[in-house]
């Protein structure tokens, strides 16, 4: 059963769950929210719904997420957590990525002008673009303005 519309999920109950989540995350051994959800007897998918229903729960979930991120980083670097699982959670839940995943945008090179003909061609293209822009501006100025004031 979904949280919305259920009498069980009152604002008070959701705030109690927010406090419970933060209490759970206060234990350095706890990393994963799903373990807390299982402990509370609720589906882990409810967390997002509770955050939509309650600003208090939304803030608690953000704080718990920050705690999780730091624990994963520390556990992954000091070897207390398995690096594969750490990487998986950091990439899927906390928007981390490998350097190899980063896209490199090439910067367009300036044209190398090797002859007078190349220069003339470039000047001709620039002149044509200037004419087109002047025509657009002239057309825009010819239209009556409806701006008042």
Residue 4, in any domain of the structure: no
What is the C-alpha to C-alpha distance for residues 67 and 85, in angstroms, rounded to an integer?
A: 16
Q: Cα 14 from chain centroid? A: 26
What is the C-alpha to C-alpha distance for residues 59 and 38, in angstroms, rounded to an integer?
A: 21
Looking at the predicted structure, is the pLDDT value of residue 95 above 70?
no
* Full domain range(s) for residue 42: 11-98
Q: How many domains does the chain have?
A: 1
Q: Which residue did the predictor score with more confidence, 58 or 100?
A: 58
Residue 16, in any domain of the structure: yes
Residue 35, in any domain of the structure: yes
Local confidence band at 70 (pLDDT 50, 70, 90 cut-offs): confident
Residue 18, in any domain of the structure: yes
Q: Which residues touch 115 (CB under 8 Å, ≥6 apart)? A: none
Local confidence band at 135 (pLDDT 50, 70, 90 cut-offs): confident
pLDDT tens per residue across span 15-48:
999 999 999 999 999 988 899 999 999 999 999 9
Q: Which residues touch 50 (CB under 8 Å, ≥6 apart)? A: 3, 9, 14, 17, 18, 57, 61
């Amino acid at each position: 059963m979904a949280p919305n519309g259920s009498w069980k999920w009152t604002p008070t109950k959701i705030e109690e769950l927010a406090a419970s989540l933060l209490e759970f995350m206060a234990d350095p051994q706890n990393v994963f929210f799903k373990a807390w959800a299982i402990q509370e007897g609720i589906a882990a998918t409810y967390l997002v719904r509770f955050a939509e229903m309650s600003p208090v729960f939304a803030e608690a979930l953000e704080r718990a997420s920050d705690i999780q991120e730091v624990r994963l980083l520390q556990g992954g670097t000091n070897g207390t957590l398995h690096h594969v699982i750490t990487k998986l959670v950091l990439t899927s839940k906390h928007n981390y990525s490998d350097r190899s995943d980063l896209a490199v945008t090439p910067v367009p090179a300036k044209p190398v002008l090797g002859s007078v003909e190349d220069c003339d061609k470039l000047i001709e293209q620039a002149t044509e673009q200037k004419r087109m822009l002047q025509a657009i501006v002239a057309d825009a100025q010819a239209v009556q303005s409806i701006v008042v004031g």
